[in-house]
Structure 1
């Protein structure tokens, strides 16, 4: 896996070659990762996007489950939240 500073994106040949060689590239800002680029086949853009979105959704669900396991919500809190949402216009 290769890392590249966002300021270096103007080096398009390096970006393209890295994606062709490795298939992925982690973009950094101030030395910290903030985005990932994936190489794809031109005729598979919709399928690739669908798979990436599915993976991101699964990751979000896992994170939510971990958070709820650490800080469980009581039935009373859930009921209060439901009642509050129902009162909103």
Structure 2
């Protein structure tokens, strides 16, 4: 268990988030991560599409209505989103 007050609060918040894991839709989580990559890290949808080897329109469609994007493209996009998220997480500003 973390010792500092801020660290304990952060740790408890993470534990509380575990309760929501079964309720969250995977596409919702990926959309949230995608938003962070675009808005916080300023990575363009075109760049993300190129990494995923899909069309930029597929990324835009996923952001607007994920049900319109075929599962194969979602998989490619999700793989890239998670890799970029892992890489850029270290430089994200603390909220």
Give the alignment's TM-score, normalised by structure 2: 0.29
Could you say which structure has the greater relative contact order, defined with CA pairs below 8 angstroms and 6 or more residues apart?
A: 2
Task: Say which one has the larger Rg.
Answer: 1
- Flag the structure with higher strand content: 1
- Flag the structure with higher helix content: 2
